[in-house]
């Protein structure tokens, strides 16, 4: 996978925000997932800088990790945020499919429904 693959899939590129993001993150990409009811969730891709592993002597190219942001009803009329990290090794197709299945369990709320906009 490349940065261009993510851009072609509708992800928007932006710079890491320090000190929130680890200084090993080179760039970030994010995409919002909507349906006819509203905004479902966001997937953020963290592209890590290449690094040298002093234990093995190998240089690793930049890997991609995925953060998923959901909302959960707190039972008091509000929402609680949930962040799930999918480590390097997943590809974007797998992530999108898995996250869609998670949302469709009904355990998570919409960020915003169109009727409320």
pLDDT digits (tens, 9 = 90+) for 50-103: 877 778 877 777 789 999 999 999 989 888 999 999 998 899 999 999 999 999
Q: Is the pLDDT of residue 17 over 80?
A: no
Amino acid 88: pLDDT:
86
Reported as a pLDDT band with limits 50, 70 and 90, residue 38 is very high
Average of per-residue pLDDT across 10-37 = 87
Structurally, the chain folds into a number of domains equal to: 1
Distances (CA, A) of 90 to 33, 66, 83, 94, 99: 18, 8, 17, 6, 12
Percent of the chain as helix, strand, coil, to the nearest 5:
20, 45, 35
Query: Whole-model pTM?
Result: 0.84
Quick one: which H or E segment has residue 33? strand 25-34
Amino acid 41: pLDDT:
95
Question: In which domain, by residue range, is 14 found?
Answer: 3-116
């Amino acid at each position: 996978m490349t940065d261009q693959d993510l851009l072609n899939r509708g992800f928007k590129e932006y710079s890491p925000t320090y000190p929130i993001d680890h200084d090993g993150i080179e760039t970030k990409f994010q995409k919002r997932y909507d349906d006819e009811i509203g905004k479902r969730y966001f997937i953020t891709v963290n592209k890590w800088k290449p690094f040298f592993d002093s234990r093995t002597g190998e240089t690793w190219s930049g890997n991609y990790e995925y953060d998923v942001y959901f909302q959960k009803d707190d039972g008091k009329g509000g929402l609680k945020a949930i962040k799930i990290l999918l480590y390097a090794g997943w590809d974007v197709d797998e992530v999108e499919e898995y996250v869609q299945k998670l949302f469709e369990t009904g355990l998570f709320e919409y960020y915003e429904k169109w009727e409320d906009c």
